[in-house]
Amino acid sequence: MSTSIDRELPNDEARELMAVVEQVADQTLRPIAAEHESAGTFPRDVFATLGQVGLLGMPYPAEYGGADLPYVVYLQVIEELSRAWLAVGLGVSVHTLSAHALANFGTADQQQRWLPEMIGGDSLGAYCLSESQSGSDAAGLTTNARRTPDGYELTGTKAWITHGGEADFYTVMARTSPERNTGISCFLVPGDAPGLTAATPENKMGMRASTTAQVNLDHVQLAADRLIGDEGEGLTIALAALDSGRLGIAACAVGLAQSALDEAIRYSKTREQFGQPISDFQGIGFMIADMATAIESARALYLSAARRKDDARPYSTQAAMAKLAATDACMQVAIDTVQILGGAGFVEDFPAERYFREAKVLQIVEGTNQIQRHVIARNLLRG
C-alpha cells in the first residue's frame, strides 16, 4: 500500500473522491501492473472498473454523465492513477483528450447525442492527430476527408495512436482542403466504422500494456454531422485539446516520479552496506532530497496551470512549462532511482527499471519537450 500525499483539494467531496482513487490504485492497479506490463496485455477490464466509479468523464459536465471536476482535482486523480500504473493514468488522460473536441466545440445536438456515451464510463476514446510524416509538424498531416453527397469519406493512416484498435471512438483530424493551417477539420469516428482498422501494436520500450498502433482509414464513410466544429477549424481544435492534454501528461509524470521516489526511499532504508542502511549516507540522502524537491516543484507547476484553466485564464504557456518541467524531472528521478538501487535497479525483480523505461516516453508524447520549449519561447517573445 502506498502512502498518501498531502494534496491540495478544495472540499470534502474531492477528498472523498481521492480516497476512492487511492483504494482503486492499491487494490486494483498495483497488484496487476507488473504482470500486464511484462506480458504486454491491454487491461480493458481496468478501464471498465474506472468507468463504473466515474473516472472516465471527470472534467466534463454532469448533465452529460461527467463529474464537473475542476482541473486541480482531475489532474491529481491522474497523478494518483499514474503513481500506481502509468499506462492506466495516461490512458485516462488520453480518453479525456479524445472527448475534448466534442465537449468544447460540438453543437448542443452533437453533445446530447454522443457525449453521454463517450464519457459515461462504458466507452474508451483515442485521439488521432499524428501521422508517420507529421508528428511535431501537426499541420503537415495528409489524411484526407473528401466531401460526398451524404457527408465525408476519410482516407489515410494515423500513427502512434494510444488505444488504437481498442477504442470505441476516434477523434480524427483530416484534411478537407489544401491550405496548410486552415485546411484541417475534426471528425468523430465510431470505432466500428467500416474501413477503420488498426495495425499490429508497436513493440515499445515501456508502457507495453498501453496499446499503441497505427490506425488505417480506408474510405471510411461518415455522415455530415460527424464533423466537429466548422470545416478548417481542426487545427485550432487539436491545439486547444493538446493544451489540456499536456497538463494530463505533466500529472502522469509527477505520479510516475513519485512512485520511483517511493521505491528509492523504501530500498535505501532496507539495503545495508558497511553495517548501516544506505539511507544513512549523505550521498544517498542528498539524491533523495533533490528528487523530492523536483517532484514537489513539478506538482506545484501543473497545479498552478490548472488553476489558470479553471479560472478561464490563458494557460497555454503554463501547460507547456508544466509538461516540460514534470517530464524532465520524472526522467531524472527515474535515473536516480536506478542508481540508488544499483544492480537491483537494473533487473526486473524490482520496479525501478520499468519506471526508467516508462519515463522516457513522457518527454515525447503530446509534443516533445523541444516543442514545449518552442511554444514557451514563442509565447513569451511574440508580445
Active-site residues, by number, are 366
**Distant-in-sequence, close-in-space partners of 59: CB < 8 Å, separation ≥ 6:** 66, 67, 68, 69, 70, 71, 74, 96
- Give the closest residue to 220 by CA, choosing from 179, 199, 200, 191: 191
Contact 247, 306 (CB under 8 A): yes
Contact 131, 159 (CB under 8 A): yes
Contact 253, 330 (CB under 8 A): yes
- CA-to-CA distance for 85 and 26, rounded, in angstroms? 10
- Give the closest residue to 57 by CA, choosing from 119, 117, 122, 116: 119
**Distant-in-sequence, close-in-space partners of 16: CB < 8 Å, separation ≥ 6:** none
SS3 state of residue 7: coil
Q: Which three cell numbers, joined as nine digits, stand for 155?
A: 482516407
Please identify which residue in the block is written with the cell numbers 493538446.
242
Q: Which three cell numbers, joined as nine digits, stand for 225?
A: 454531422
SS3 state of residue 171: strand
Contact 125, 95 (CB under 8 A): yes
The DSSP symbol for 21 reads: H
SS3 state of residue 278: helix
Q: Which three cell numbers, joined as nine digits, stand for 220?
A: 471510411
Q: Give the containing element (helix H, strand E) for 369.
A: helix 369-381
